């Protein structure tokens, strides 16, 4: 009860001062992680209950966030107009994985190579929520904010198939998939996306038809979207596909059908979606951060530092080569790639397939990366955004 009261009080207080805090060197993920960690260390959160709640919330949050992130993306406009995020996704993500794999192999020599590759993949996705003072700050040129938002919205869904395949490779031999790796990989990248994409298009078309005929109301459209995300997840599981990839594909299809005609997706992301994210950060801090901090060794710390300070900046620098991005643009975009909920939730999702010691190592690495990133990017987001905006004013609000 104490932990729930504390969470509710912080959520209310942050909401009251959200505008003032938007330009302060503190973010909601920082606060909720810190509150959860403090209560967890004090024993105020019962561990069995906290673990069960975190795993349930992790799955729900991942399905919803993948769906909503994808639904917000205008894929056609991204391909036509947004050169920076395309480069960051198509070149930056593979480079981040390759460079990250090298860093993990060098700095974590005791880890089996499949586990090192899995760690590198889990540390690739970024989370714009941790750098909200950047992506919501009008002082930052619109082109940069658009690039970072589009990249963060798509990279978690694009990284997921590789993470699931690498998790299967890192699993004990007894857990190897039936039918061989080729069949498993094909199922991961076909069944879920096809089922999710079809359901997303059909669901979006049905909602538009119901809206045009006056059969539904705006208050229920958000419920329809969430139900569709859950349906895609469950249908994919039923046919042997991956539910999380299906949720992402459903969001893409759904967004393509309703774009410009329904505002509820964006409204949900800014309200109920924020609360869901805050709850996940709080439970993450309460149940996993104290244990992860206690297990943090110097090698793991160096690996996380390399991922944040070297791997991501170098990958973005190279991916934006031969574009009109200046050195300042490339450094800014390279730094603001915070690791957030996707990193932690992916680690929790794949942990069940790994040997216990490997699962513990992956989860600890991911959780430590999240709180370190929340602190580093949260403290630097507002001041660096202001400095960047002053040094490089632009008027182009959309092109990237």
Domain boundaries, the chain: 32-47+74-183+264-391
Measured CA to CA, the distance from residue 273 to residue 67 in angstroms comes to: 11
DSSP codes of every residue in 228-289? HHHHHHHHHHHTTS-HHHHHHHHHHHHHHHHTTT--HHHHHHHTHHHHHHHHHHHHHHHHTH
Alpha-carbon separation of residue 31 from 3, 26, 28, 376, 384 (angstroms): 14, 7, 5, 13, 20
Q: At what angle do helices 113-122 and 356-391 cross, to 10 degrees?
A: 30
Tens-digit pLDDT profile for the chain (400 aa)? 678 889 899 999 988 887 777 777 788 888 999 999 998 888 877 766 556 777 788 788 888 888 888 887 776 667 766 789 999 999 999 999 999 999 999 999 999 999 999 999 999 999 866 767 787 778 788 888 888 888 888 888 888 888 988 998 888 764 555 555 566 666 667 888 899 999 999 999 998 898 888 888 877 877 888 899 999 999 998 887 888 889 989 998 998 888 766 666 656 656 677 788 888 899 899 889 999 999 999 999 999 999 999 999 999 999 999 898 999 999 999 999 899 888 998 999 899 889 999 999 999 999 999 999 999 998 888 888 888 888 865 444 445 5
Q: At what angle do helices 218-238 and 243-258 cross, to 10 degrees?
A: 140
Q: At what angle do helices 356-391 and 341-351 cross, to 10 degrees?
A: 170
Site of tokens 């859950």: 230
The closest of 155, 5, 139, 148 to 69, measured between CA atoms, is 155
Q: What six digits make up the tokens of 261? A: 């005609």
The closest of 34, 28, 36, 26 to 3, measured between CA atoms, is 36
Measured CA to CA, the distance from residue 127 to residue 266 in angstroms comes to: 17
- Nearest-Å Rg of the Cα atoms of the chain is 20
What phi, psi does 392 have (nearest 5°)? Answer: -140, 65
pLDDT of residue 175: 53
Query: 250-263: per-residue pLDDT in tens?
Result: 998 998 888 766 66
Measured CA to CA, the distance from residue 234 to residue 351 in angstroms comes to: 20
Q: Is 388 helix (H, G, I), strand (E, B) or coil?
A: helix
DSSP codes of every residue in 371-382? HHHHHHHHHHHH
CB within 8 Å of 31: residues ≥ 6 apart = 10, 14
pLDDT of residue 173: 63
191 touches 236 (CB < 8 A): yes
pLDDT of residue 395: 45
Query: 275-302: per-residue pLDDT in tens?
Result: 888 888 998 998 899 999 999 999 999 9
pLDDT of residue 397: 44
Measured CA to CA, the distance from residue 296 to residue 114 in angstroms comes to: 21
User: HSE on the CB side for 11, CA within 13 Å?
Assistant: 19
pLDDT of residue 264: 65
pTM of the model: 0.86
249 touches 232 (CB < 8 A): yes
Class of domain 32-47+74-183+264-391: mainly alpha
Measured CA to CA, the distance from residue 362 to residue 123 in angstroms comes to: 10
219 CB burial (10 A radius; 0-12, 13-18, 19+): exposed
21 touches 14 (CB < 8 A): yes
């Amino acid at each position: 009860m104490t932990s729930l009261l504390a969470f509710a009080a912080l959520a209310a207080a942050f909401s009251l001062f959200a505008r003032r805090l938007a330009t302060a060197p503190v973010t909601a993920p920082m606060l909720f992680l810190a509150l959860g960690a403090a209560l967890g260390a004090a024993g105020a959160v019962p561990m069995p209950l906290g673990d069960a709640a975190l795993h349930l919330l992790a799955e729900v949050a991942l399905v919803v966030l993948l769906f909503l992130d994808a639904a917000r993306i205008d894929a056609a406009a991204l391909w036509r107009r947004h050169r920076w995020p395309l480069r960051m996704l198509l070149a930056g993500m593979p480079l981040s994985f390759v460079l990250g794999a090298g860093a993990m192999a060098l700095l974590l020599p005791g880890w089996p190579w499949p586990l090192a590759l899995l760690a590198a993949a889990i540390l690739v996705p970024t989370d714009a929520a941790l750098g909200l003072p950047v992506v919501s700050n009008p002082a930052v040129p619109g082109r940069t904010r658009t690039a970072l938002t589009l990249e963060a919205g798509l990279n978690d869904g694009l990284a997921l198939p590789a993470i699931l395949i690498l998790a299967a490779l890192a699993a004990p031999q007894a857990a190897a998939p039936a039918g061989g790796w080729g069949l498993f990989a094909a199922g991961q990248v076909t069944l879920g996306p096809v089922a999710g994409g079809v359901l997303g298009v059909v669901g979006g078309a049905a909602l538009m038809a119901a809206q045009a005929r006056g059969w539904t109301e705006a208050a229920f459209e958000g419920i329809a979207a969430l139900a569709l995300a859950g349906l895609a997840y469950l249908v994919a599981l039923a046919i042997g596909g991956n539910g999380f990839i299906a949720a992402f594909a459903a969001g893409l299809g759904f967004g393509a059908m309703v774009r410009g005609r329904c505002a509820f997706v964006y409204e949900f992301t800014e309200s109920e979606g924020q609360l869901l994210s805050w709850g996940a950060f709080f439970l993450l801090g309460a149940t996993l951060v104290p244990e992860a901090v206690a297990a943090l060794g110097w090698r793991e710390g160096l690996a996380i530092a390399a991922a944040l300070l070297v791997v991501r900046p170098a990958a973005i620098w190279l991916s934006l080569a031969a574009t009109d991005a200046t050195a300042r643009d490339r450094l800014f975009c390279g730094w603001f790639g915070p690791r957030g909920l996707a990193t932690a939730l992916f680690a929790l999702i794949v942990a069940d397939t790994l040997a216990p010691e490997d699962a513990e190592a992956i989860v600890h690495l991911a959780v430590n990366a999240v709180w370190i990133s929340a602190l580093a990017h949260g403290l630097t987001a507002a001041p660096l955004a202001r400095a960047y905006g002053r040094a490089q004013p632009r008027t182009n609000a959309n092109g990237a």
